[in-house]
């Protein structure tokens, strides 16, 4: 059975080297699709254009919000197709405007990619998912259709706005339909939690991602993904947030860093 994620990030070749997709409003945060979701269709097009299937490093620049329930065109350029890795760049266009531009390096991954390593992040300590707070019960002042597609459970100590006293967010995530988490879904998971500033500043308004880089380290084992995000740098309205994802075996499966903009007036960047 096709998962919601696979169906709603599906791509079709246009025959001229570009791809067609249609983004779903079911992944919206407020009026627009989540950036990590919108970039997933672009990532699929890049992956389909090179001989290596697994994303190792993905950097996406978000030029303007994507549009839900609207078709889009993805233009791809293969930069290099090597023996061990391949690199491609592409952009998502909707309404003749560029929404997202990404560059990604692809290679091969397996579930034992962390075997024999001597340096790794230990998993963040969390209550069991059933003892955590569902994101769709959080008072964020915005509609979250994306919660029909993702099951996000937050550490209760960090879930109340401004109570934790630190810019940290942690919890569990999986697909609502419990579809397996592939390497290609990990960049989305790195962009699906409330901003880590929530625990420090409370309801902070709009925090649009300007640039997101994700390094995929391993294919997750089945089950929940454990996540922790932290902001240690906020100045001039710009912030840098770092994140780590672990699978249920305790292996690091992805690391992320994003540049975001703190907006309290609700205006476009």
Containing 126, the helix (H) or strand (E) segment is: none
Per residue of the chain (269 residues), what is the pLDDT tens digit? Answer: 789 999 999 999 998 889 999 999 999 999 999 999 999 999 999 999 999 989 999 999 999 999 999 999 999 999 999 999 999 999 999 999 999 999 999 999 865 545 555 567 899 999 999 999 999 887 666 789 999 999 999 999 998 888 888 999 999 999 999 999 999 999 999 999 999 998 888 777 678 999 999 999 999 999 999 999 999 999 999 999 999 999 999 999 999 999 999 987 644 44
Q: How far apart are CA 109 and CA 142, in angstroms?
A: 37
Burial 13-36 (b: 16+ CB within 10 A, else e): eeeeebbbbbbbebbbbbebbbbb
Residues facing residue 89 across a β-bridge = 77, 103
- Which CATH code fits 4-109+126-261? 2.40.160.210
pTM of structure: 0.93
- For residue 161, the model assigns a pLDDT of 81
Q: Which of 68, 13, 3 is nearest to 38 (CA)?
A: 68
C-alpha 21/C-alpha 14 separation (Å) is 10
Phi, psi (degrees; rounded to nearest 5) at 146? -60, -25
- Under DSSP, is residue 188 helix (H, G, I), strand (E, B) or coil? helix
Predicted pLDDT of residue 248? 95
List the beta bridge partners of residue 98: 93
In 3D space, the residue among 258, 232, 224, 241 whose CA is nearest the CA of residue 123 turns out to be 224
- 142 close to 82: Cβ distance less than 8 angstroms: no
16 contacts: CB under 8 Å, gap ≥ 6 = none
d(CA 187, CA 216): 8
CB 42 within 8 A of CB 216: no
State how far the alpha carbon of 263 is from the alpha carbons of 129, 204, 225, 260, in Å.
Answer: 31, 8, 29, 9
Rounded (to 5) percent helix, strand, coil in the chain: 15, 40, 40
pLDDT, residue 121, reads 81
Instruction: Using CA atoms of 75, 187, 260, 125 in order, give the dihedral in degrees to the nearest 10.
Output: 180
Alpha carbon 70 to chain centroid distance?
Answer: 20
How many C-beta neighbours within 10 Å does residue 160 have? 15
* Residue indicated by tokens 């925090």: 207
Q: Residue 160 has what pLDDT?
A: 84
């Amino acid at each position: 059975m096709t998962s919601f994620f696979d169906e709603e990030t599906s791509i079709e070749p246009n025959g001229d080297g570009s791809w067609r997709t249609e983004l779903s409003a079911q992944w919206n945060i407020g009026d627009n699709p989540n950036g990590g979701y919108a970039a997933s269709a672009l990532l699929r097009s890049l992956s389909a254009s090179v001989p290596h299937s697994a994303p190792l490093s993905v950097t996406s620049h978000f030029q303007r919000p994507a549009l839900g329930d609207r078709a889009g065109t993805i233009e791809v350029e293969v930069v290099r197709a090597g023996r061990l890795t391949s690199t491609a760049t592409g952009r998502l266009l909707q309404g003749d405007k560029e929404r997202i531009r990404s560059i990604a390096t692809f290679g091969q991954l397996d579930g034992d990619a962390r075997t024999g390593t001597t340096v790794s992040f230990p998993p963040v300590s969390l209550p069991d998912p059933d003892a955590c707070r569902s994101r769709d019960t959080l008072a964020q002042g915005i509609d979250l259709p994306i919660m029909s597609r993702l099951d996000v459970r937050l550490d209760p100590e960090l879930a109340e706005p401004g109570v934790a006293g630190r810019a940290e967010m942690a919890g569990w995530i999986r697909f609502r339909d419990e579809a397996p988490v592939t390497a290609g879904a990990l960049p989305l998971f790195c962009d699906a939690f409330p901003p880590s500033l929530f625990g420090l500043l409370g309801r902070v308004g709009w925090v649009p991602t300007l640039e997101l880089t994700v390094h995929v380290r391993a294919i997750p084992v089945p089950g929940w993904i454990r996540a922790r995000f932290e902001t240690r740098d906020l100045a001039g309205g710009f912030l840098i947030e770092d994140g780590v994802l672990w699978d249920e075996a305790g292996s690091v499966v992805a690391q992320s860093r994003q540049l975001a903009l703190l907006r309290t007036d609700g205006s476009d960047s």
